[in-house]
Amino acid sequence: MKNIQDNFIAGIGNTPLIKLRKASELTGCNIYGKAEYLNAGGSVKDRAALALIRDAEEKKLVSKGGTIVEGTAGNTGIGLCHIGNSLGYKTIIVMNDNQTQEKKDTLINIGAELRLVPPKPYKDDGNYVKIAGRLAEELKNTNNKGVVWANQFDNTANAKGHYKTTGPEIWNQTEGKVDGFVCSSGTGGTIAGVSSYLKEKNKDIKVYLSDPKGSSLYNYIENGELKSEGGSITEGIGSSRITANFAEAKIDGAFSIDDHESLPILYDLITNEGLSLGTSCGVNIAGAIRLAKKLGTGKTIVTILCDKSDRYQSKLFNKKFLIEKKLPYPKWL
């Protein structure tokens, strides 16, 4: 028998690179998306979730029967719950109540204890990340198997997971012929881990942040100031602060991507390339196209295809919602 995996965790990583045909033709470059939606739990966040849990186990903070607590926009929570189920952990997820119903339903359906809170800025004590941290601390004495706060934003085990897996995979898949890497940032783990690995292999590889409107990171990279403009329907990426993971990223520049630029890319991919991807993928691909144009023809650019559209269908394919936001919508709706 071939290609047999022993368990859920074995299905995380070693995702393929998919050539993005239109983006490549448009720029005269080879633009590839790393198909992270093919991870066992359905998103790039499976890698972070696994790295965070393994880190807690190695530090003997939790063992079978213990509890994982995390604040998340959804995907990390889904990954933590799947992995937690496979290893014998309970998962408690704190999430803003404005995230898509699809992600809320998924978390409940796979057995997570979901606690929804109103959105608050990070400086507020009611911010979902801070609530998760306090909750883990409050529960510590209730379980002798351990209660751990995964802390995906500032636990650099997240970036280390990508340094050990995603970065080497991209290098090996391109046979070291990658010229640029583009990625958005939520926690900063992916762009930090991948950029650190790739630049160790070749310091001339260009790494660019692709940042949605409403995030402060573009302005921080380009002008040294945490300042945001506009807004986006994209979930799970963008930030108003520099996380411990993001601080480790080796970034050459940044692009600010508007929803009017990213959404048509997603709709075109569905109709012409058979790829139905999540909102952050549009931001990433838009950034990859911009970097390809900046570097010139013949280059190889890699970006991340984080997840699929089914986790955002109530926004991505909601004609009324999109019209109210004055955003483009699929022509078939």
Among all residues, which ones are annotated catalytic?
A: 45
Other residues' Cβ atoms within 10 Å of the Cβ of residue 119: 13
d(CA 318, CA 316): 6
| φ and ψ at residue 209, rounded to 5 degrees | -85, 135
Residue linked to tokens 């941290």:
133
The one-letter code for the residue type at 278 is: G
Among 37, 149, 156, 157, smallest CA distance to 94 is for: 149
d(CA 145, CA 267): 47
d(CA 168, CA 201): 9
First vs last Cα of the chain: how many Å apart? 45
Q: Specify whether the CB–CB gap between 302 and 178 falls below 8 A.
A: yes
d(CA 98, CA 107): 15
The sign of the dihedral angle between the CA atoms of 269, 275, 276, 281 is negative
Residue 256 CB burial class (10 angstroms; 0-12, 13-18, ≥19)? buried
Tokens of 12: 């995380």
Residue 25 CB burial class (10 angstroms; 0-12, 13-18, ≥19)? exposed
Beta bridge partners of 31: 301
d(CA 162, CA 307): 16
d(CA 191, CA 149): 22
